[in-house]
Each structure stands twice: as structure tokens, then as C-alpha cells.
Amino acid sequence: MLNLHWHSNRVSANAEGGRRVSQVETFEFQAEAQQLLQLMIHSIYSNKDVFLRELVSNASDALDKLRLESLIDKDLDADTSDLHVELAVDREQRTLTIRDNGIGMTREQVVELIGTIARSGTAEFVNRWQQAKHDGNAELIGKFGIGFYSSFMVADRVVMVTRRAGQAEGTRWESAGSDTYEISTVADAAPGTAVTLHLKPVDEDNHLFDYADPAVLRRIVKRYSDFIAWPIRMRAPEAESDETLNSMKALWSRSAAEITPQEYTEFYRHVSHDWTDPLETVHLRAEGTLEFDALLFLPAHAPHDLFMRGARRGVQLYIKRVFIMDDCEALLPEYLRFVKGVVDAADLSLNVSREILQQDRQIQTIRRRLVRKILGTLKDMLAKDPQRYAEFWREFGQAVKEGLVNDADNRTAILDLVQLASTHDPAAPTTLRAYTERMKADQTEIFYVVGEQRATLESSPHLEAFAANGIEVLLLHDPVDAMWVDMVGDFDGKAFTSASRGEVDLKADAAEQPDAEGFAELLGWLGERLGEKVKQVRLSTRLTTSAACLVTDSFDASPALEKLYRAMGQDLPKAKRILELNPQHPLVEKLRAAHAERGGDDTLGETAEFLYAMAVLAEGGELDDPAGFTRRLADRLSRTL
């Protein structure tokens, strides 16, 4: 711990205004601390409104401590009948006083508190902040606990008068935030602490608003301190009576049995700005070594920016009912970005401005608990109310599936929640568990196809043999599907296998196997003719009605995965694919006969190009030269006529 080492350069000064103040002692801040104080005043906080949050938070802590102390020490001479925080405004003098009737401080505590700006090394703080500023990241700072000094962002002079409960005398501290501060003893100080700010002139360009304006104070208290447990009252000269500014209704701190559905709905609307009812409420209270309350909501409808880059996400973070930040991304993974609500922790590591969380063990512990609770709630909803779960999945399923890529720790839980289109029932999606329960006795794989549109997948030539053999195939048509299905590998020990990749063995009878020898010459010629487009030409065991299809080699990326990576800015090389022919199709039979009769002339070469193009279009792919294809097709049709 590094103190400011206030020097004993004591200078006599007269008491102001006839108050019963002892001799005033003036102390110098150390040069290093002066530099830190100037950073505090001019550079650290991005939002100067937070000075009031800091001072109200300090006042609330003082009230908490007095209540606890009075319970422990029955002889403590303290009035706890009306504990509160008061804001007193004088618009003519341009002063704002934040006063509480809490525990107060002794002179020694004032010296200790005010004389210790940082609990970490002051020099380290300055160096880190300057380096962060040089790197273009002025928010890169650690935990230094100097919220009181945020007063100097908005005030030219700060006066604090405090008296410890049970003490006869108080202490007065004053500074202009430069190189000195003054301390004196006050005989007639009121119990508690009063901090008076002599406000700077309004400068909205630098976000210095009129903090002597009651309307401005109402707005700030409502935003940052609405749920403080103690009343925050405002006294303005023109007001006839004190006005209570905060609601004190921290819904998350009450037990679920005490809260009505209407209260939940109203609170959801307050935190989400969504005027519909939430689909589900998640209320969690964690006790033990790490205590926190969470009140989270699953919306009924996806926001318009759910898949927009840079969209706001995260829940509101409070610490002991004090608002810290609006969109705390650290507490929930990105795939749960639609979750709204509040997390109130008893103790977290924050930086000096409370605007950025340090990624410490506490944060990660809370995050893991929240994710498990949300996924568990969804699992219960799926089991107990499938219709409501189906509504949730239609809105947010695509986002949840991102967790299969990004959250390996919870992948198994997410797989149990996934609902996917399949060939089993076009009207309703299936879970993976239901798919495996319907599998044939000798089936060991979960088959799927990936593409951009469900309608195209349903008519894909890759599914023909599967349909003929009564084998269900999953139809994966969300962009993220191409990625997760490759990464996950299996479900419940059954491997995910693409119906459009590699060779498919559906246990066909030997009599049904194609005559590869009879097609050898045709296949060899097509391989040469289409060599720039395909890796290989072979006969198919997956086609029953279509003439041809394209399949991806076992270890190559699928076209859907290639497209996804390119959309993410990664230039994946395009892999050649395999052209499979249906030997029983009339077009393929006639092509073989024509090639055997006259070899590979230009007309047959053009037919080969058409055959390849048909395979591309059948699976919903895009031709390299669609205009050239339509021109050649028109010429062929005109010659035919």
C-alpha cells in the first residue's frame, strides 16, 4: 500500500465563518500523487456524471455500516430511525452537498482514507494509464479505489465534514484538487458525512452539465442509484419539501415467492425497453464464497439487430445495488446475447471508473453459474412445455447454435437443446435425442445435409437413396450449421455424417451395385473433359432418380463451410468436388452409348458441361458463368428444334 506521505508542513489558518473549528493544518500532496490527481480530474472517467454515483455509493455504505454497528454495539449513541442520503442544492452559490447520517469517520480515518489515493502503486498506475493512452486505449486501468476524487471532475473545491457515530467532535477536510489539502477539527459537526462541491461552470462540450439543476440530478440518480436500499432525498431552495429520487425496489433481492408475475413483467420492460411480455424469467440467488443475485429474462421475440455486428449485448451489472454498467458482456457468452436482466454482485474487482471489469476468477465463476442456469431453464422448458420452447427456438435457435462452436464446456448441454429440420416430419423440427431414438437398428450414424435453403435441401439429389431406404436426414440450413456440425463430431456416440460427402454405404444388395467396369471409358473421358472443375467422376450409390450430383471428398471443406469462412473474411481455397453419375438414368445410359459409338466429340463435350451444371444447380449452387450457360443452352435447344 502506497500512502501519499503527507508532509508536516503545517500552516496556520483562521476558521471560516465563525464556525467552531480548531487550527487548520495544511498538508502537501506528494508530487507523484498530484500527477495522479490531475489524471483523475481530467482524463480517467469517460462520463463525468458518475461522480454522483460514487458519492451516493459511499454514503450508502456509511448507512449500512451504521445499521450494522448499532446492532452490534447496543450502547452506541446514534439515531438510526431515519437513515437516508440527502442532496442539497444551492443554485445561486452553485454548490451541491451530498449528506448522509451514517457511520461517519474519525480524524484518523479521514487521514487514512483521504491520504491514500491508491491501494496499488501510484507510479504503476500513472505508467499504465499513460501507456494505455499512447496505445489508444485510455480505459486500460486497474483497481485503485479512488471514487471520492471523481468529485474534482465537476468541482473547483471540495469540502467534507464528518463525525463518527459515538464521537463528540468532527473533522473537516478541504482541497481545491491541486497540491495541498487542509484538515481541522469541528466541534459542532452533524453526525455522518457531508461532501460539499463548489461546482465548475457548465461546459457541455466537455460533458460538464449543470449539476446544480435538480432535473439533472434526478436523471443521474434514476440511472445509477435507483435501487439503493436507502432513500435518496433532494432538497432544493425552491422546493416546499424533500423529494425522494430513488425507487429502492431492487426486485432481484427479494425471493421469487414474494414477486408477482406483473412485477416481473414491469421490471423486464424497464431493463429491456421491450413492451411485450418476457417468454421466461430466470431468478437466481447464489450464496457462499461468492454471493450474487441475478434476475434474467428470455424475450419472446428476437431484436432486429440480433445478428448485426457491433449490436449492444450483455446484462446490467450492479454491485450492492449500485449501477455499474449497462451492457456487461463479460457475464454472458455471445450466443446468449439476447438475454436481458440484472446481475447484482456483493464484491467484484473493478477499475477506478467502474466502467470496465477485470477478467478475474469471480467474473468467470458468475458467468459459468449464469450459463448453466439459463441452459437448465431451457432444458426444463423443452421437457415441460414443448410448444413454448418451439417459440423460443424459432426466435433464438440460430444464435444458441453458435455456442456449439464457441462454448466447448457446455456443448453437450446445448446439443440437448438443439432443434433441427429433418426429412422425418416437414412440419416440425426434431431434437437429436428424438432422431437417435428413431434410428434403424443397424444405423450407427446421424446423417445430414447442409445448404442455404430448406426447400433446396428437401429436393436435393443427395437424399434420394436415403429416402428409398427410409433413413432420416437432418436438413441444416442456418449459416452456423456448416461450422458446428464439423466441429462437434458426434452426439451420444453416433457420428455426424454428411449425406453429400464421401462415399455412402447404405448396405445395398450386391445386385444393386453399379457396373463400374461397363462405365470405365465414359468415366475416364468425363474426368479429362471436366478436369478443371471436378476432382473425380464416379458412379453413385446415393442417386435413384437424378442423373448426377456433386459430392465433397471426405476431408475437404463443404461449399457451405467455404462460403461461411469467406463471409468471415477468410479466403479459403475452393476445393474441387466429385461428380457422381446415376448409371440407371436414361441420360447417363445414352451418354455412355454415344461415347462408345463416336468418342468424345464437341456435342458430347457440351453435354458433359450441361451434366455438371445440372448437378451444381440441383443442390442450390452457383455457376461460375451463368450467362454463358444460358447462352449455350439456348443454342442447344434451337439446334434440337
Q: Which residues pair with 350 in a beta bridge?
A: 357
pLDDT band at 18 (very low <50, low <70, confident <90, very high): very low
pLDDT at 320 over 90: no
Helix axes 214-224, 50-72, angle to 10 degrees: 60
615 pLDDT higher than 80? yes
* DSSP H or E run through 85: strand 85-90
Confidence category of residue 88, pLDDT binned at 50, 70, 90: very high
Could you tell me the pLDDT band of residue 118, with boundaries at 50, 70 and 90? Answer: very low
CA distance 501 to 330: 39
Which CATH number is correct for 251-391, 3.40.50.970, 1.10.600.10, 3.40.50.2300, 3.30.230.80? 3.30.230.80
pLDDT at 410: 97
**Same fold flag, 25-244 and 251-391:** no
Task: List, as own/partner pairs, every contact residues 486-491 make where C-beta atoms lie below 8 angstroms and the sequence separation is at least 24, other chains included.
Answer: 486/558, 486/561, 487/404, 487/405, 488/404, 488/411, 488/415, 490/446, 491/415, 491/432, 491/436, 491/446
What is the pLDDT, as a whole number, of residue 203?
87
Q: By C-alpha distance, which of 321, 305, 325, 457 is closest to 46?
A: 325
Nearest to 12 by CA among 2, 29, 25, 22: 25
Is the pLDDT at 208 greater than 70? The verdict is yes
> Smallest Cα–Cα separation from 301: which of 342, 272, 328, 324?
272
pLDDT tens, position by position, 424-442? 998 899 999 999 999 998 8
pTM comes to 0.74
CA-to-CA separations, 509 to 366, 469, 505, 539, in angstroms, rounded:
57, 12, 11, 16
**Rounded-to-10 torsion of CA 202, 208, 214, 219:** 150
Cα–Cα separations (whole angstroms), residue 126 to 121, 130, 142:
9, 6, 11
Cβ atoms within 10 A of the Cβ of 471, count? Answer: 19
Rg (CA), the chain: 36
Tell me whether residue 171 is exposed, middle or buried, using C-beta atoms within 10 angstroms of its C-beta: 0 to 12, 13 to 18, 19 or more: buried
CB 389, CB 397: distance < 8 Å:
no
Average pLDDT, the chain: 84
* Whether the predicted pLDDT of 12 surpasses 60: no
Rounded to an integer, the average pLDDT of 94-113 is: 92
Question: Between these two residues, 506 and 167, which has the higher pLDDT value?
Answer: 167
What's domain 25-244's superfamily in CATH? Histidine kinase-like ATPase, C-terminal domain (3.30.565.10)
Rounded to whole angstroms, what are the CA distances from 338 to 315, 333, 392?
9, 10, 11
pLDDT band at 537 (very low <50, low <70, confident <90, very high): very high
Kindly tell me if the per-residue pLDDT of 195 is higher than 80: yes
Whether the pLDDT of residue 507 is over 60: the answer is no
Angle between helix 586-598 and 520-529 (nearest 10): 90
* % of the chain with per-residue pLDDT over 70: 85
Give the residue among 341, 338, 294 at the shortest CA–CA distance from 312: 338
When pLDDT is cut at 50, 70 and 90, the band that residue 7 belongs to is very low
Q: What is the mean pLDDT of residues 348-356?
A: 55
Max mean pLDDT among 306-315, 576-585, 596-605 falls in: 576-585
Q: How far apart are CA 351 and CA 125, in angstroms?
A: 11
Q: Where are the domains of the chain?
A: 25-244, 251-391, 418-640
624 or 45: which leads in pLDDT:
624
**Inter-helix orientation angle 386-400/361-384, to 10°:** 140
| CATH number of 418-640, picked from 3.50.30.10, 1.10.1040.10, 1.20.120.790, 1.10.10.10 | 1.20.120.790
CB-CB neighbours of 394 under 10 Å:
13
- Does pLDDT of 40 surpass 70? no
pLDDT of residue 518: 81
Whether residue 211 contacts residue 203, with contact meaning beta carbons closer than 8 Å, is answered with no
Q: To 5 degrees, how large is the angle CA 97–CA 101–CA 104?
A: 95
The three cell numbers locating residue 554: 471426405
Asked if 340 contacts 333 with a C-beta cutoff of 8 angstroms, the reply is no
| Residue 372 burial (C-beta neighbours within 10 Å; 0-12, 13-18, 19+) | middle
The answer, yes or no, to whether residue 77 has pLDDT greater than 70, is: yes
Proportion of the chain above pLDDT 90, given as a percent:
49
